[in-house]
């Protein structure tokens, strides 16, 4: 632990001398976050969801393994939730957060797409440019990432780490490719797949939104068919929730997670 602290001070000392941060907005974010870093278990972690872009002989998030801290070791495994657009996944997760906000937290994804009306940067997504996203991906700052309809989406390593340091159950909302990529990491999450009873029900829900062109809708349906095949393959998910009735689907989701939530409640009591 002492070594990590020394390395962080090295970054603090050299910070004003670094001139190779090529993206001005990220440079400002990173410098400000480093200067306001808060000690966590004796290690100074910056409060931004990206790691610092310094040479690997200086400090990076990889110096702290996912399970190296005692606090992280006692936490339940993260939960990765996947499901086609229109499956009701977001509705279920929003309800879960409202009921258990003291014990769970969503990892906010990064995306290169433009914000939709009423979406808030840092709450719904971290909205960034393609240049910033590609730069961070090249620097191995993401656990998983995927591209759909010309936009990149991804989960940063530091975003998950921050939730673990907060002592909460981390929930990841990921695409099918994200599930596959997470299996290649040492994060070891549990996987949940949310689906509709049929592709016809899914299509009806998407059409009722009335937010997409026919071409865009057909792309989503084609993607959904692939996701359903993968989601229904035995062994790919720990739980499959068929969201035909919202109340029953939510009951199944809670039943799967309640032991982890109760464990966190006991930890907070002590």
Active site residues: 116, 209, 220
CA distance 96 to 4: 36
CA distances for 90 relative to 124, 169, 257, angstroms: 11, 17, 16
Query: Which residue, 184, 185, 178, is CA-closest to 153?
Result: 178
Phi-psi region for residue 118, left (φ > 0), alpha (ψ -120 to 50) or beta?
left
Measured from the Cβ of residue 6, the count of other Cβ atoms closer than 10 Å reads 10
Please work out, in degrees rounded to the nearest 5, the angle formed at the alpha carbon of residue 22 by the alpha carbons of 16 and 28. 50
DSSP assignment, residue 256?
H
CA distance 205 to 148: 20
Q: Summarize the chain as % helix, strand, coil (round to 5).
A: 45, 15, 35
**In whole angstroms, how large is the CA radius of gyration of the chain?**
20
Backbone angles phi, psi at 213, to 5 degrees: -75, 165
């Amino acid at each position: 632990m002492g070594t990590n602290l020394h390395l962080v001070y090295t970054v603090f000392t050299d910070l004003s001398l670094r001139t190779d941060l090529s993206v001005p907005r990220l440079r400002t974010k990173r410098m400000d976050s480093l200067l306001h870093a808060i000690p966590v278990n004796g290690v100074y972690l910056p409060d931004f969801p990206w790691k610092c872009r310094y040479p690997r002989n200086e400090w990076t998030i990889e110096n702290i393994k996912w399970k190296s801290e005692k606090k992280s070791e006692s936490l339940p495994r993260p939960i990765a939730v996947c499901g086609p657009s229109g499956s009701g996944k977001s509705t279920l997760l929003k309800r879960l957060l409202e009921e258990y906000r003291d014990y769970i937290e969503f990892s906010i994804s990064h995306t290169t797409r433009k914000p939709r009306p009423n979406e808030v940067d840092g709450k719904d997504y971290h909205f960034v440019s393609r240049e910033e996203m590609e730069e961070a991906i090249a620097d191995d700052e993401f656990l998983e990432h995927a591209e759909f309809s010309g936009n990149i989406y991804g989960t940063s390593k530091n975003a998950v780490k921050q939730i673990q340091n907060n002592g909460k159950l981390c929930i990841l909302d990921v695409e099918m490719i994200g599930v596959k990529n997470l299996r290649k990491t040492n994060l070891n999450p549990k996987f949940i797949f949310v689906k509709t009873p049929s592709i016809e029900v899914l299509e009806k829900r998407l059409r009722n939104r009335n937010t997409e062109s026919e071409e865009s809708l057909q792309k989503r349906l084609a993607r959904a068919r692939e996701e359903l095949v993968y989601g229904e393959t035995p062994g790919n998910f720990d739980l499959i929730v068929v969201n035909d009735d919202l109340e029953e689907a939510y009951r199944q989701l809670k039943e799967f997670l309640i032991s982890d939530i109760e464990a966190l409640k006991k930890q907070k009591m002590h």
